[in-house]
Amino acid sequence: MSTTIPAIPSIVLPDQFNIATAFLDRNITEGRGAKTAIYHEGATYTYAQVAELANRVGNGLLELDVDLEQRVALLLLDSPQFAAAFFGAIKIGAVAVPLNTNLRPADYVYMLNDSRARVLFAHASLWKQMRQILPELKYLRHVVVVGLAQDGEQETATLHDFEKWVLKASATLQAAGTSKDDSAYWLYSSGSTGFPKGCVHLQHDTTYCLEYYAKPILGIKEADITFSAAKLFFAYGLGNNLTFPFGVGASAVHYPGRPLAEDMFKGIEQYRPTIFYGIPTLYAAMLALPEAGKRFDFSSVRLCVSAGEALPADILRRWEEIGNLLIRGDSTAAYYWNKHEKTKDTFNGHWIHTGDKYYQDADGYFWYCGRSDDMLKVGGQWVSPVEVEGALIAHPAVLESAVVGQADADDLIKPKAYVVLKSGQEPSEALANELKAFVKERLAPFKYPRWIEFVPELPKTATGKIQRFKLRSGSEV
């Protein structure tokens, strides 16, 4: 099989550039104002409605004295309010900072103080846990809550009901004269390898993602409807379900609930998306549903995308020479906020050390083998945890697995597997031995897991990435 590498498009952006103008307002000027931009909980929101709401948010922020480059935090569920707050903040030259909605209050203290956010947007269901930490937030001046009045709470001088607040603001707004190299939004890393880091993205980044990935690789078009299990606070979800569809005038399904397997199938039947974005653990759960193919109509979906972790195959090709993946391009983050040493370790001139291990096959495709700090040296030979996990998942009893290194009696590192069984399967020593033999039959013998521990679930970030560092430390076992 030969590989045809598409030509890299030439992108020239003006020095004055704003994401909100390019990804939201452009849909109005090009005649898509009446088109559905967002499907949300049975309702539809047009591009004109989202643009007006974003303008009102931007004007409201200006009235709260938010200035250029000041941070605005978004603790919002996937919704039109998220889109409006994201684009509204960016449109006035402020910096939007989406926050993971599944964290603990102590995590928000760190992120809000680290980002020095002046304003916080939150859904009422998420705001409740935030009240207790307000005295610890050094820089926060105002909170705008979606559903505050419906929740029975009164407004104050610093606490605002989103619906009332936006109605007071003007529906027209001129975009700030931001540079293409100004900060536009931050995304905190998921914490799969430790403490979250604020990744700073510039105004031009999103255009490069759209032109270099979404258009040529996904083939996203104006007629598409996207549906992402990954949430908007995550880079994968933000592109999938906001900037990519808005960048081509497509439509997006914003699903605020937990991405449970059966609910994903129901959402696909209801909204008929053409592109579905998931993660490996979700795909495994969807496949595990009894008679899902008969119970649900999946026919609208033309493309399924997976990210976050390597997607295991029943039989993975044995990897050849494995190396560190370095990337460059104008879509990458500029630096880690307030993490000088980590920035120097990761960002080297035009290149970023991703921390991922890949190999390139004869056809030019790159295959993921795991994180650099996850790779194991067993008997002087490299072992990819992803390869061992893929072999284990091929066994009919296994739902999920994670492989880490553990020292044996001689203090030599060997693979250990944590295994989650499918419903109806019971852990046993016999099954553990069967799984070891199963892997030996499929991979080089030195790669098989010396120990297998059955667990009810694997520690994961909110975005579905397995936190192997917790398994290595034993903190989640």
Cα-based distances in Å from 303 to 1, 212, 283, 306 = 22, 18, 13, 10
In the chain, CATH 3.40.50.12780 sits at 19-284
Quick one: angle between helices 280-288 and 261-271, nearest 10? 90
- pLDDT attached to residue 316: 31
Any idea which residue has 């104002």 for tokens?
Answer: 33
- pLDDT attached to residue 287: 84
What 152-157 contacts at long range (C-beta under 8 Å, 24+ apart), as own/partner pairs, is 153/124
Cα-based distances in Å from 24 to 28, 150, 471 = 7, 29, 43
- pLDDT attached to residue 431: 97
Per residue in 229-262, pLDDT (tens digit) is 999 998 999 999 999 999 999 999 999 999 999 9
Residue 223, Cα to own-chain centre: how many angstroms?
24
In the chain, CATH 3.30.300.30 sits at 356-473
* Vertex 435 angle, CA 433 and 436, to 5°: 65
Contact 222, 248 (CB under 8 A): yes
Q: Which two tokens stand for residue 37?
A: 């931009």
CATH number of 356-473: 3.30.300.30
Torsion over CA: 20, 23, 29, 32 (sign): negative
Distance (Å, whole) CA 471 – CA 410? 21
pTM of the shown model: 0.73
**What is the b/e burial string over 347-376, where b = at least 16 CB atoms within 10 angstroms of the residue's CB?**
beeeebeebbbbbeeeeeeebbbbbbebbb
Per residue in 73-97, pLDDT (tens digit) is 999 999 999 999 999 999 999 999 9
Contact 98, 63 (CB under 8 A): no
- State the DSSP string of 374-423: T-EEETTEEE-HHHHHHHHHTSTTEEEEEEEEEE-TTS-EEEEEEEEEPT
Contact 465, 355 (CB under 8 A): no
Contact 278, 348 (CB under 8 A): no
* Vertex 226 angle, CA 224 and 230, to 5°: 160
Contact 274, 248 (CB under 8 A): no
> CATH second-level architecture of 19-284?
3-Layer(aba) Sandwich (3.40)
DSSP H or E segment with residue 428 = none
Contact 264, 295 (CB under 8 A): no
Residues with pLDDT less than 70, the chain: 1-7, 190-195, 308-323, 369-373, 379-381, 462-463, 475-477
In the chain, DSSP finds a helix count (H) and a strand count (E) of 17, 23
Q: Where are the alpha helices (DSSP H) in 224-288?
A: 235-238, 244-248, 261-271, 280-288
Tell me the three state secondary structure of residue 191: coil
- pLDDT attached to residue 195: 66
- pLDDT attached to residue 5: 57
* Vertex 50 angle, CA 48 and 51, to 5°: 65
Distance (Å, whole) CA 105 – CA 357? 34
